[in-house]
Amino acid sequence: MARHLITSAIPYINGIKHLGNLVGSQLPADLYARYQRGRGHEVMFLCATDEHGTPAEIAAAKAGKPVAEYCAEMHDVQAEIAKGFRLSFDHFGRSSSAQNHKLTQHFAGVLAERGFIREVTEMQMYSPTDGRYLPDRYIEGTCPNCGFPDARGDQCDNCTKQLDPVDLINPRSAISGATDLEMRETKHLYLCQSQLQDKIAAWIDSKTDWPVLTTSIAKKWLTDGDGLQDRGITRDLDWGIPVKKGDADWPGMEGKVFYVWFDAPIEYIASAQEWVDAGKGVDWERWWRTDKGADDVTYTQFMGKDNVPFHTLTFPATILGSGEPWKLVDYIKSFNYLNYDGGQFSTSRGRGVFMDQALSILPADYWRWWLLSHAPETSDSEFTWDNFQMSVNKDLADVLGNFVSRVTKFCRSKFGEVIPEGGTWGARENALIAELTQRLQAYEGFMDAMEVRKASSELRAIWVAGNEYLQSAGPWTTIKTDTETAAMQTRLGLNLIRLYAVLSAPFIPDASATMLAAMKTADDQWPTDITGFLTALPAGHAFEVPEVLFGKITDEQREDWQVRFAGTR
């Protein structure tokens, strides 16, 4: 039994996320976690809300609530939506937790002792209108690299280039929109990433199996210009983790907090501590410390491409610079962007489908299937209602749902609600077994490699194989002249439903549970031998005909949703 530590990029607390956020991190991470559990491996799947920094302060101010109260409420909202999408986190933590406060301050102290933090007196933008310094995310403007008009002071979401506020063209306050910004002197801490460049570069070079998207972004930052630059890790904010060296005060840093991108990845570790303190498990260190047993853990991270620089550079610099035996990530699965119907998702314009809205119109499995089968792995992808309707209707309703309905209803009408006995396999059945054996091996290979779209395509082909067998065998015709053979064909079809339930569980867990319940079995062990698996439910075993597994999306529904979620242009 292998051990898998899986983390998803932690979502910002400022509001409900759209489908692009979901498919770029949490959903494929859940797919992989469910698959590894299904194979019998031990899994720790962690996520959290990212609650510090300017996004939290701005969102709380707009909501008219104290920031701590706002974050607590939004954590509960995001946790509930995650449950709605069946995201199977072992723990969904909070970066504002006491555990993350202590651990972040610990890392800062250790890094300072080892000479990897320096104090810098610098000029920073100050807004007389707002009466405060403006940390990077409080400043917006035009990206000097690509011309994107809404770049932030730390990063351009369009081209992923890391920025400093002074780089922006026509900078403005994200709070008030004021443009009368001026530079004033202040003092901050910098993580000396430049001193760790060679070590980080060698570590990234050793990851020859990583996706090109991941390594290309990381290497770009290592080789562009003068290479990896030192990065500020403190901010002039009220909300955040106070700057300390472990438990000790940090002279000159009074009133400052750690930069959100310094403390947020540390929350991955802290969430495991929260998991223990919440009474959900024991011994978090065996997952995170290589001197406590984590050396045999495979650690995989899932994220959108905009998060790659911090996970390949800044967080590894924190871990490596500490000199302590923390577990480094083994594999980073990154994703491109999901766009919406000819443009981008937009909260401000109400454009696109957000996670709560999606669940209000259709069950989670519909969304899970479409998003994963269209995951933006090699390039950006686009959600359109036409494609969504077609995929749901053809894949889920016509292929999988139709198979389950035809087999169970035919058996009930001809043999009753028990698996019939009689007949033996012939050439047609042996050919099906051979195809399924080959396809199962391919499916497992794609899932192990985290090639999400290829895995979904192979799973669909496994569903199709059953339909083609059923159509070719035609038990509804066979029964007219050969009841024994018709019984055998039907028995095989019912066992196929259980096979589909087990193999489909990582993608569509609710439908999987419905199929298992219909077959009146809780046995969801992963198949190791197709022949044995398809004879496991014996003659005489009871079953029931389930409700329609997937209803088709009508043209009227599609047209209504297209209008409802179009937003303002």
Q: Count Cα neighbours of 497 within 13 Å in the Cβ-side half-sphere.
A: 32
407 with 523, same domain: the answer is yes
- pLDDT at residue 334 in the model: 97
Say how many domains are in the chain. 3
158 with 232, same domain: the answer is yes
Token pair listed for 146: 């690509």
146 is in an annotated binding site: yes
Report whether pLDDT(33) > 70: yes
Beta bridge partners of 118: 190
pLDDT confidence of 527, banded at 50, 70, 90? Answer: very high
21 with 48, same domain: the answer is yes
Over the Cα atoms of the chain, what is R_g?
27
pLDDT tens track for 382-410: 999 999 999 999 999 999 999 999 999 99
Residue 52 placed within a domain = yes
Report whether pLDDT(569) > 60: no
pLDDT tens track for 204-228: 999 999 999 999 999 999 998 788 9
Report whether pLDDT(154) > 90: no
User: Average pLDDT of 112-125?
Assistant: 94
- For the beta sheet containing 151-152, the strands, ordered from the edge strand earlier in sequence to the opposite edge, are 151-152, 139-142, 169-173
436 with 304, same domain: the answer is no
Instruction: Check if the beta carbon of residue 14 is closer than 8 Å to that of residue 75.
Output: no
Q: Which helix (H) or strand (E) holds 486?
A: helix 483-504
- pLDDT at residue 49 in the model: 98
| CATH code at position 224 | 2.170.220.10
Q: How far apart are CA 410 and CA 544, in angstroms?
A: 12
Q: Which of 54-63, 194-203, 504-513 has the lowest mean pLDDT?
A: 54-63
**Sign of CA pseudo-dihedral 356, 359, 360, 361:** positive
pLDDT confidence of 301, banded at 50, 70, 90? Answer: very high
Report whether pLDDT(491) > 90: yes
Token pair listed for 334: 């990154």
- Which candidate, 90, 88, 89, places its Cα nearest to that of 513? 88
Residue 527 placed within a domain = yes
397 with 523, same domain: the answer is yes
Report whether pLDDT(422) > 80: yes
347 is in an annotated binding site: yes
Residue 492 placed within a domain = yes
Report whether pLDDT(318) > 70: yes
* Angle, helices 509-518/483-504, rounded to nearest 10 degrees: 150
Instruction: Check if the beta carbon of residue 67 is closer than 8 Å to that of residue 112.
Output: no
237 with 269, same domain: the answer is no
Helix (H, G, I), strand (E, B) or coil at 65: coil
Beta bridge partners of 188: 120
Token pair listed for 115: 């000479």
Residue 51 placed within a domain = yes
Token pair listed for 96: 């504002």
Q: How far apart are CA 36 and CA 53, in angstroms?
A: 34
* Cβ within 8 Å of residue 334, ≥6 positions away: 211, 213, 214, 217, 302, 303, 304, 305, 307, 308
Average pLDDT in the chain: 95
- Which candidate, 249, 9, 293, 229, places its Cα nearest to that of 108? 249
User: Average pLDDT of 4-33?
Assistant: 96
480 with 341, same domain: the answer is no
Residue 112's alpha-carbon distances to 3, 117, 323, 483, in angstroms, are: 33, 5, 12, 79
Token pair listed for 543: 């079953």
**Sign of CA pseudo-dihedral 208, 212, 213, 219:** positive
Residue 540 placed within a domain = no
3-state secondary structure 160-198: CCECCHHHCEEEEECCCCCCCCEEEEEEEEEECHHHHHH
- pLDDT at residue 532 in the model: 96
- pLDDT at residue 124 in the model: 84
192 is in an annotated binding site: no
**């099906």: which residue's tokens?**
432
241 with 267, same domain: the answer is no
143 is in an annotated binding site: yes
451 with 325, same domain: the answer is no
Torsions phi, psi for 17 (to 5 deg): -90, 155
pLDDT confidence of 53, banded at 50, 70, 90? Answer: confident
Residue 374 placed within a domain = no
Report whether pLDDT(135) > 80: no
Residue 282 placed within a domain = yes
481 burial (CB, 10 Å; 0-12 / 13-18 / 19+) is exposed
Angle at alpha carbon of residue 111, lines to 110 and 112, rounded to 5°:
90
pLDDT tens track for 250-269: 999 999 999 999 999 999 99
| CATH code at position 15 | 3.40.50.620
- pLDDT at residue 51 in the model: 97
Number of H helices, E strands in the chain: 22, 18
Last residue within a domain, chosen from 216, 249, 282: 249
282 burial (CB, 10 Å; 0-12 / 13-18 / 19+) is exposed
Residue 520 placed within a domain = yes
Question: 403 — alpha (psi -120 to 50), left (phi > 0) or beta?
Answer: alpha
- pLDDT at residue 54 in the model: 80
| CATH code at position 468 | 1.10.730.10
Instruction: Check if the beta carbon of residue 90 is closer than 8 Å to that of residue 104.
Output: no
3-state secondary structure 290-312: HHHCHHHEEEEEEEEHHHHHHHH
pLDDT over 70 percentage in the chain: 100
358 burial (CB, 10 Å; 0-12 / 13-18 / 19+) is buried
Cα pseudo-dihedral 343, 344, 347, 348, rounded to 10:
-60
209 with 242, same domain: the answer is yes
123 with 98, same domain: the answer is no
71 is in an annotated binding site: no
Query: Residue type at 491?
Result: R
Question: 422 — alpha (psi -120 to 50), left (phi > 0) or beta?
Answer: left
407 with 510, same domain: the answer is yes
- Domain of residue 342 covers 3-104+261-363
- pLDDT at residue 137 in the model: 77
- pLDDT at residue 218 in the model: 94
